[in-house]
Amino acid sequence: MSDSETKEKSVDVATDKPVNEINGEKITPTRCFTGSAISGGLAFVTYLLSKSIIMTYTTMPINFNSAMAVRIATTVRTLVMGLTIMATFLFGMVTIGLIALGIKLIIENQKVNQA
């Protein structure tokens, strides 16, 4: 299958629009890199937040007389730490994906320009 046939077949079945368009706007490397910069900034902020939460929780002991209260406090701490770490990982993966998509689009544009 040639490149032109592949380009013609890259259409979203549900909307009959080209896959490289979202709401009528083309996906460009600039948009990808801008999105990755925003996502990278959010990843850094959530990393700092996670680090701060973990440091606060490790220095603050749980002082309850009830075993049930200790278990609930431990569970809540674990959930809060897990959610912030998950947000950090999510933003980091989005950043990597958008950078990879931007590089892919640049390579595809160079191949089209050479042909």
Model confidence pLDDT, tens digit, residues 25-60: 788 999 999 999 999 999 999 999 999 999 999 999
pTM as predicted: 0.75
Output the six-digit token pair for 79.
Answer: 């959930």
Backbone angles phi, psi at 96, to 5 degrees: -65, -45
Q: CA triplet 63, 65, 67: central angle to 5 degrees? A: 100
111: pLDDT strictly greater than 90: no
Percent of the chain with pLDDT over 70: 80
- Report domain extents, the chain: 25-104
Choose between 19 and 111: higher pLDDT. Answer: 111
